[in-house]
Amino acid sequence: MKSPKRKQVVFLESFPEVMIYKLARGFKKRGYETISIRLLKFDKNSEIFYKDAFDKIISFDLSFTKMNPKNLHNIIPLFTKKIPAIFKNYFRMLVLNPKVVISRATPSAPTYFLKKFFWKWPVIYFPYDIRGLCYPNKVIAKKNGLSSMEIYSERYCFENCLGIIHKGDPDELNHLDKRLLGEKINLVPNISFSPYCSEEFSVPIKKTKKISKEKHIVYVGAMGADNLNTTNYLFENFKKIIEQKIHIHVYTKSNTLPAKESFDKMSGHAKKFITSKYFHFHPSLDPKSLIKEISKYDFGIWIYDDISPLNKLSLEAQFAIGNKFASYLEAGLPFIYSKEFGFIGGLMKKYGLNCLEIKDVNNLKKIMEKVNYSTLLQRVAKARKDFDIDEHFPELEEFINSLINRKK
């Protein structure tokens, strides 16, 4: 007898993201067939890593370029070259029969088009970054390069998809009204599902740290290598850290460039620090290797961009959380964070880790000297246990099943 076909869970992304990997692994462990549809080129070396989470990967392999009228002369030739591959992958999608599609944004336009072309599919919208919280109105959004189509798509997806998964403060979607997306947004059912830790990634928490008597902190995260000006605030803060004779280790990558090209571009941006013995710029690693690597340092760090004028009008920091939260906990690291991160600050307070909140990076050394490090490690262990994705995954599965049953 043939074994029954597994139910399909399909993920649509512009580029692969580690939180989606964890979600896919969760479904796969529960017997689902997991399929990844990717739009942009990504580092081929990472494909081996992501195959652990997905039974099948459909990659359109498109080059990244901003979607606006000024870029049409670049977009049209790139798109024309890819037409055969686009049609091939389109027909591969046609034979899919997903129980549910989880479409991660930003951008939100791909989710909009997915809803239009595959209207029978049950699509759940996952706004990993919410533009409606970043920008206070359309005028400022458009001045910063956000297209009308993207603004329209985000609102459309909030109101017309089967449901919404968002990763920030459970209350964050209630603050969308009277901002970029306009008033009276009729939200479909939603669930807040944080970027939880995975036992698969976690390493044993070392009782003492680490590589020298001097203090070593680490920053992990993606940087936009195509526009390094957006990361000026990071390097300004790295400079302040170096001046306090604290070692800063940086592990970063671009989401839309191959690993080597990304590192070459960003290491060029860091040249003014290279001569300092306290600055260490490292090539990017796959997510699991990264956790093991950074576990040897003393602290992680998560810095708010207080340089950009836009951030004074943004609500993102107040409500958002990112995969850094899980990465530092998985590595067994207490982490220093800026006071502007409201939702994160609440979580840190819950576990007694809010002594690492900073108002000014210039005071970093004093804060590090005051804390009881062994006590912090015990609290990190507690937080990591509570934030295990396997403990929370049933909530997500139940939410999705309830939406599908309701649709039926």
State residue 1's pLDDT score: 45
Q: Which residue has the tokens 């108002």?
A: 359
d(CA 346, CA 185): 27
Burial per residue of 43-67, b for 16 or more beta-carbon CB atoms within 10 angstroms, e otherwise: beebeebbeebbeebbbbebebeee
Return the structure tokens found at 22. 């964890």
d(CA 17, CA 46): 11
Residues composing the chain: 408
Q: Report the amino acid identity of residue 78.
A: L
State residue 59's pLDDT score: 86
Q: Which residue has the tokens 């739009």?
A: 39
Question: What digits encode the pLDDT tens for the residues 109-134?
Answer: 999 999 998 989 999 999 999 999 99
Confirm if 110 and 19 have CB atoms less than 8 A apart: no
Write phi, then psi, for 162 (nearest 5 degrees): -65, -35
Looking at 3.40.50.2000, 3.40.50.10800, 3.40.50.300, 3.40.50.880, the CATH number of the domain 216-386 comes to 3.40.50.2000
Q: How far is CA 258 from CA 78, 255, 262, 345, in A?
A: 18, 8, 6, 34
Write phi, then psi, for 357 (nearest 5 degrees): -75, 135
| 196 φ/ψ sector (left φ>0, alpha ψ -120 to 50, else beta) | beta
8-196+390-407 carries CATH number 3.40.50.720: no
State residue 204's pLDDT score: 92
Query: Which residues, in sequence order, are CB contacts of 383 under 8 Å at separation 6+?
Result: 329, 347, 351, 353
State residue 379's pLDDT score: 95
Q: Which residues of the chain have pLDDT under 70?
A: 1-4, 43-46, 63-81, 207-212, 223-230, 254-271, 408
Confirm if 279 and 273 have CB atoms less than 8 A apart: yes
State residue 86's pLDDT score: 81
* Cross-strand pairs, 222: 253
Quick one: how far is CA 157 from the chain centroid?
Answer: 19
Confirm if 158 and 181 have CB atoms less than 8 A apart: yes
CB neighbours (10 Å) of residue 87? Answer: 10
Cis preceding-peptide flag for 210 (omega within 30 of 0): yes
Helix axis angle, 323-330 to 287-294, nearest 10° = 50
The DSSP call for residue 359 is S
d(CA 14, CA 255): 9
Helix, strand or coil, per DSSP, at residue 179? strand
d(CA 332, CA 326): 10
Name the residue ranges covered by the structural domains of the chain. 8-196+390-407, 216-386
Confirm if 249 and 277 have CB atoms less than 8 A apart: no
pTM for the model: 0.90
Q: Which residue has the tokens 């062994």?
A: 374
State residue 261's pLDDT score: 62
- CA nearest to 149, candidates 116, 102, 126, 193: 116
State residue 45's pLDDT score: 62
State residue 4's pLDDT score: 65
d(CA 262, CA 224): 9
Return the structure tokens found at 407. 């649709």
Q: How far is CA 358 from CA 33, 326, 355, 366, in A?
A: 44, 20, 8, 11
Confirm if 171 and 362 have CB atoms less than 8 A apart: no
Tell me if 8-196+390-407 shares its fold with 216-386: yes
d(CA 103, CA 14): 9
Helix, strand or coil, per DSSP, at residue 172? helix
Q: Which helix (H) or strand (E) holds 332?
A: none
